[in-house]
Amino acid sequence: MHRMRSAPGVRPRLGVSRWLRPLLFGLIPLALIYGAVCLTGGLATSPVQPVVYLWLAVATVLLPIRASAGIVAAAVLTEVGVVLWMPGTLGWPALVVHVALMLISSGFFRTVLWREVRIVRRRAEQAMAAEFERMEADAADFRLSGDLASADVFLAGSDTDTDTGTDADADAGADANADADANADADANADANANADADANADADANADADANADADANADADADAGADDASTPDPRSAPRAAASASAAASAGFAAIHARQIGSVRIIREGLTDILHAARVSVRADRMMYFALDVQRKTLSLKGHVASAEGRDAKGRSTNSFSAAEGPLAAVVRNETSIRLLPSTRRYRVGAFEVTALVAVPVFHKPDLKGGRSMLGVLAAGRDTSAPFDEQDAVILAALGRELARAIDAERLFVAMDRVKYEQERLYDAFSLLNDVRTPSAFADNLLEAVSRIRRVAFLAFTSFDAKSDQHVVVSVTSTYPGEVDSGGSQSMGTSQALVGRHFSNREPSLVGLALRAGRPLPCRAMATSISGSDVPIFGHLLMPRLDSVKVFPLCMRGEPLGAVIVGTRPDEGGLLLEDERMIEMVTSHASVTLSNVRLFEEMAKMATTDGLTGLTNRRWFKSLLQDALERAERFGHQVSVLMVDVDHFKGINDTYGHAVGDSVLVRIAELLRNEARRTDVVARYGGEEFILVLDETDSVGAIALAERVRRLIQAQQIRGDFGAVSVTASFGVATWPAQAHSAEKLVERADEALYEAKRAGRNRVNASSAHEVHCPDPTRAAIGRRRGGREAPALSRVQA
Residues acting as catalytic residues: 689
Nearest-angstrom CA–CA distance, 735 and 641: 6
DSSP state string for 418-432: HHHHHHHHHHHHHHH
Q: What is the largest CA-CA distance in the chain?
A: 127
Nearest-angstrom CA–CA distance, 307 and 290: 12
The answer to whether 676 and 735 have CB atoms below 8 angstroms apart is no
- The region that residue 336 occupies, defined by phi over 0 for left and psi between -120 and 50 for alpha, beta otherwise, is left
Task: List Cβ neighbours of 478 (8 Å cut-off, separation of 6 or more).
Answer: 448, 452, 459, 460, 461
CA proximity to 397, closest of 491, 510, 285, 260: 285
H or E, element range at 760: helix 744-760
Nearest-angstrom CA–CA distance, 456 and 221: 52
Q: Amino acid letter at 547?
A: L
| Partner residues linked to 684 by β-bridges | 617, 692
**Helix axes 92-156 and 391-435, enclosed angle (nearest 10):** 130
**Phi, psi (degrees; rounded to nearest 5) at 353:** -120, 155
Nearest-angstrom CA–CA distance, 676 and 686: 18
**Phi, psi (degrees; rounded to nearest 5) at 695:** -105, 100
Extended strands (E) in 621-700 = 640-647, 682-687, 690-696
Buried b / exposed e along 170-203 (16+ C-beta atoms within 10 A): bbbbbbbbbbebbbebbeebbeebbebbeebbee
Q: Report DSSP state, residue 206.
A: G
CA proximity to 496, closest of 482, 514, 507: 482
Question: Virtual CA dihedral for 398, 399, 403, 404, nearest 10 degrees?
Answer: -20
402-to-253, 271, 378, 642 alpha-carbon distances in Å: 37, 13, 11, 89
First-to-last C-alpha distance (Å) of the chain: 75
Sign for the pseudo-dihedral over CA of 25, 26, 30, 31 = negative
The answer to whether 696 and 633 have CB atoms below 8 angstroms apart is yes
Nearest-angstrom CA–CA distance, 269 and 282: 20
Q: What is the pairing mode between strands 765-768 and 730-737? A: parallel
SS3 content of the chain, % helix, strand, coil (to 5): 55, 20, 30
Q: ∠ CA(69), CA(73), CA(78), 5° rounding? A: 150
Nearest-angstrom CA–CA distance, 99 and 599: 72
Nearest-angstrom CA–CA distance, 244 and 240: 6
- For the beta carbon of residue 398, count every other beta carbon within 10 angstroms: 15
The distance of Cα 575 from the centroid of its chain, to the nearest Å, equals 20
**Phi, psi (degrees; rounded to nearest 5) at 352:** -95, 10
Nearest-angstrom CA–CA distance, 535 and 529: 12
| Partner residues linked to 718 by β-bridges | 727
